Amino acid sequence: LTFTTYALQWVTVMAFFPTLLMENRGFTAGAASWLTALMVAVNVPGNLLGGWLLQRGFRRGRLLVGACLTMGVAGLVIFYPQFSFSLQYTACLIFSGVGGLIPAAIFGASPVLAPHPRLLATTNGLILQGSNFGQVLGPPLLAWMVSTTGTWQSAPWILAAAAGCGVVLSFLLGRMEKRPGLT
């Protein structure tokens, strides 16, 4: 479920960012595509950093809570036209880069939290299904919200709600990992 909240936010921003840039900032399709591609690419170092931090003993629950909170705050900035483009784009890069910590933390948790080593593949499959659910749910939900209200300013509330759920789920995941025998 934590991965669902991440995927819902990340895929939704990635999918609608080019449209947002063209509608609110007057970018061409090509320029909006390049800026979005950079946003997507920034997610990779976040994934690598997440693995590096976990290998050095950083607590998974704290890593997830921090990443979810960061994505939530950055998501609020991305869709408000009152903010400068520089601030919005910086928030977008932070959103994607810090968000990249989440897949590393979640997939790194599967060997620790799988009920049995034989169920590791099943656990990873459930994680991927959570990702798929977030990807399917997020874009239509945001599109519905924006078309209903007629403004992009309603979009961040979906991201903030998903981030809030991600924070709660991350706390729970951190507590699960503290159980005896699960470290």
> Is residue 138 within 8 Å of 8, Cβ to Cβ?
yes
What is the structure's pLDDT at 64? 96
What is the structure's pLDDT at 183? 45
What is the structure's pLDDT at 181? 53
The better pLDDT of the pair 96, 156 is held by: 96
The better pLDDT of the pair 156, 180 is held by: 156
Secondary structure of 7-36 in HEC code, one letter for each residue: HHHHHHHHHHHHHHHHHHHCCCHHHHHHHH
**With the C-alpha atoms ordered 12, 18, 20, 21, is the resulting torsion angle positive or negative?**
positive
Does position 165 have pLDDT exceeding 50, yes or no? yes
Could you tell me the two tokens for 127?
């994680």
Distance from C-alpha of 90 to C-alpha of 23, rounded to nearest angstrom? 19
Confidence band for 177, pLDDT divided at 50, 70 and 90: confident
What is the structure's pLDDT at 80? 84
Q: Where are the alpha helices (DSSP H) in 79-154?
A: 85-99, 101-113, 120-149
Q: What is residue 155's three-state secondary structure?
A: helix
Q: Which residues, including other chains, have CB under 8 Å from residue 45's CB and lie 6 or more apart? A: 97, 100
pLDDT (tens digit, 9 = 90+) per residue, 35-55?
A: 999 999 999 999 999 999 999
The DSSP call for residue 182 is -
* First vs last C-alpha separation in the chain: 21
Does position 131 have pLDDT exceeding 80, yes or no? yes
Mean pLDDT of 7-24: 93
Could you tell me the two tokens for 154?
């309603």
Which amino acid belongs to residue 8? L
